[in-house]
Structure 1
Amino acid sequence: MATSTETSHEFPFPAPALLAALTDAEYLRARLAAVGGAKAELVSHETTVGGESKAVLKQGVPSDKLPSFVRSLINGDLVIERTERWRQAGEGAVGTVVASVPGAPASINCSLQLRPSAMGAELLSALEVRVSLPFVGGKVEKAIVEQIGRLLDAENTFTLSWLREIS
């Protein structure tokens, strides 16, 4: 079984400006510094000749920020490995995020769509979390979805500030 959710964030900037930020190594490092938690780092970043972008990041979640039942399953802080991919599609872009916790029976997959909107641009996220643990998997999935929702809100707030500063 998996737990899914969808979110949407609006930006008062055109989709190409938002895509440029989301795929920029300097932006990614700054975002990680602001909201990436302990041990956050940009592991790799590349852009292909065709304009596709791939970034591999590590993010930390301190154990004291985890629900108690999750802390009982994991020793210490949580380190998340995350791969973000983007490619232009029409007037916007599509992307994916695949995240994992090494040694944990969990997978996180997210489809992203960036499209023009009346306000400027809209970023849509469709998230699926799967935890393979008997009896408590669904409860852990819901906790992860809640934490990722908070993270996405913080990242989108950071992105808005970043775009305002560089404009």
Structure 2
Amino acid sequence: MDLNVRHEYAASPDAVHAMFTCPEYLSSLGRASGIAVSVENQGDVSSLSAQAKAPEQIRAMVGETIKADARILWERDGEGWRGVAEVARLKVPAQISARAELRPGGAGTIVEYSLAVSVTIPFIGKKVEKMAEPRIRAALELQKSTGDAWLAEHQG
């Protein structure tokens, strides 16, 4: 499953990048979504560990919770930033690749997300991918609303 999402933030690309690499912001995003998140940040590399309650449909395969570890690597890209997420240690046979591009435009910054999710469970992998899509979209929308509030509070 491929997923592309576009957001606009009323802040500069550097301010949005600073937010996306701020451990306090990432932890607040986890709290807002009901996911336990721990964050370690070293410059333009964020390491996250997230644990959430597993959807009921796959609990028999993965247990009560799903845990994932991810590293997000950011690099300067002209006037903006490009981020690549490496996701590891999933309890399900799945691969996730994610990219984010931050560039000037719109209300201040346009963020383009590109995600690819592949679940390799025989017979039900595509069904699990379809179940994941609305959850991923909802998580990105929560990131947007939480980010707007964060930027309004922390800019200035």
In the other structure, the counterpart of 1:4 is 2
How many residues are matched? 155
Structure 1 unpaired stretches of 5+:
48-52
In structure 2, what is the equivalent of residue 81 of structure 1? 69
In the alignment, does 2:42 pair up with 1:46?
Answer: yes
Structure 1 segments, 4+ long, off by >4 Å, are none
**Which of the numbers 116, 135, 142 marks the counterpart of 1:128?**
116
1:2-41 matches, within 5 Å, as 3-35=1-33, 37=35, 39-41=36-38
Stretch of structure 1 that moved more, 96-105 or 5-14: 96-105
Cα deviations by residue, 1:92-138 (Å, 9 ceiling, x for unpaired): 11011222453321111111111111311111001000111111111
Amino acid at match of 2:51: G
Match of 1:57 in 2: 48
Q: Secondary structure at the match of 1:72?
A: helix
Structure 2 residue identity aligned to 1:59:
A
Q: Which runs of 5+ in 2 are unaligned?
A: none
Name the TM-score, length of structure 1 as normaliser: 0.85
Kept in 2: contact 1:100–1:106 (CA 8 A):
no
Q: Give me the TM-score of the superposition, normalised by structure 2.
A: 0.90
Contact 2:13/2:104 (<8 A) preserved? yes
More strand by share: 2
- 1:97 pairs, out of 85, 88, 91, with 85
CA RMSD of aligned residues (A): 1.6
The answer (yes or no) to whether the contact 2:7–2:144 under 8 Å persists in 1 is yes
Q: Distance in 2 between matches of 1:118 and 1:102?
A: 35
- Separation in 1, partners of 2:27, 2:104: 26
Partners of 2:8 and 2:106 within 8 A in 1: no
Residue 133 of structure 1 aligns to a residue whose secondary structure is: coil
Q: Does 1:151 align with 2:148?
A: no
Q: Which moved more, 1:54-63 or 1:5-14?
A: 54-63
CA distance in 1, matches of 2:50, 2:154: 25
